[in-house]
């Protein structure tokens, strides 16, 4: 990551994506803020970046529709050209979906929705963006601490994130000859609006999860954003193919 470089963050209209965009902008990156349909939220993120003196643009991107990636990358190329650039320096694959429930309640449609976005969409977006990645660029795929520990009703979601981690290691090997690093970052319980904002708004749930962490609390979105920005920094330029957990020491 270099000052005035360009970072693309998927799902940056809220939660961890918004915090990540802010953290990268604070370190001098120009931001491409993507959203699936929440244009107002994405514009709010972009306004935050601009208010802090940064540069940001908003683009719509639906990870569940890889057929649209050609048009997306063409539009992205035009944006980069307007910015006097031709390459991306950082890509954060944050956008994802979660469908939670016990084994007997999960449908084939639920399974396809989760894997279609979290795995298929992430894979084919990276594929589409590879020609636009700078030498020495960094791809960061957001996973979950649930790939290490278990929680009832999360089997499909955690399996999709485990697939993302395995994919990240292989892509690190494939893209390494160009100096491109690929890592995954695994947040633990964090107070965002994910899954209906349960960890943010349900005090009893927060207290229960806090008691399972070494640090005695759930995380804040800014802490995940800062961790992602640090992972993207030149200080960790020798790190690739790694899973980095940022969970406050949950369920050790």
With tokens 């992972």, the residue in question is: 231
How far does CA 148 lie from the centroid of its chain? 18
pLDDT at 204 over 80: no
- Per DSSP, the three-state class of 95 is coil
How far does CA 79 lie from the centroid of its chain? 21
Domain of 93 in residue numbering reads as 6-245
In a domain, 251, yes or no: no
In a domain, 105, yes or no: yes
In a domain, 1, yes or no: no
The pLDDT tens digits for 5-63 are 999 999 999 999 999 999 999 999 999 999 999 999 999 999 999 999 999 999 999 99
Angle at 236 between CA 233 and CA 238, to 5 degrees: 130
Q: State the helix-helix crossing angle for 122-129 and 69-82, rounded to 10 degrees.
A: 40
Look at the chain and report how many structural domains it folds into: 1
Asked if 157 is an active-site residue, the reply is: yes
CATH number at residue 215: 3.40.50.720
First to last CA, the chain: 32
In a domain, 35, yes or no: yes
**Confidence label for 138 from pLDDT (cuts 50, 70 and 90):** very high
Catalytic residue among 157, 171, 175, 219: 157
Task: Say how many C-beta atoms besides its own lie within 10 A of residue 252's C-beta.
Answer: 10
């Amino acid at each position: 990551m270099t000052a005035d470089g360009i970072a693309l963050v998927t799902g940056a209209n809220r939660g961890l994506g918004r915090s990540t965009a802010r953290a990268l902008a604070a370190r001098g990156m120009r931001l491409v803020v993507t959203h699936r349909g929440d244009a107002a939220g994405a514009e709010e993120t972009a306004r935050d970046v601009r208010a802090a003196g940064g540069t940001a643009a908003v683009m719509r991107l639906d990870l569940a529709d890889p057929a649209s990636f050609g048009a997306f990358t063409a539009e992205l190329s035009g944006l980069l050209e307007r910015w006097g650039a031709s390459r991306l320096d950082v890509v954060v694959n944050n956008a994802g979906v979660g469908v939670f429930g016990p084994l007997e309640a999960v449908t084939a449609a639920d399974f396809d929705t989760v894997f279609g976005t979290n795995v298929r969409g992430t894979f084919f977006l990276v594929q589409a963006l590879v020609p636009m990645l700078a030498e020495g660029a960094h791809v960061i795929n957001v996973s979950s601490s649930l790939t290490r520990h278990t929680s009832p009703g999360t089997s499909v979601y955690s399996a999709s994130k485990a697939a993302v981690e395995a994919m990240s290691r292989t892509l690190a090997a494939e893209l390494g000859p160009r100096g491109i690093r690929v890592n995954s970052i695994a947040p633990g319980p964090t107070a965002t609006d994910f899954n209906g904002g349960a960890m943010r708004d349900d005090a009893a749930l927060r207290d229960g999860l806090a008691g399972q962490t070494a640090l005695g609390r759930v995380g804040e979105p800014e802490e995940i954003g800062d961790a992602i920005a640090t992972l993207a920094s030149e200080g960790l330029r020798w790190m690739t193919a790694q899973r980095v957990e940022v969970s406050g020491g949950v369920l050790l």
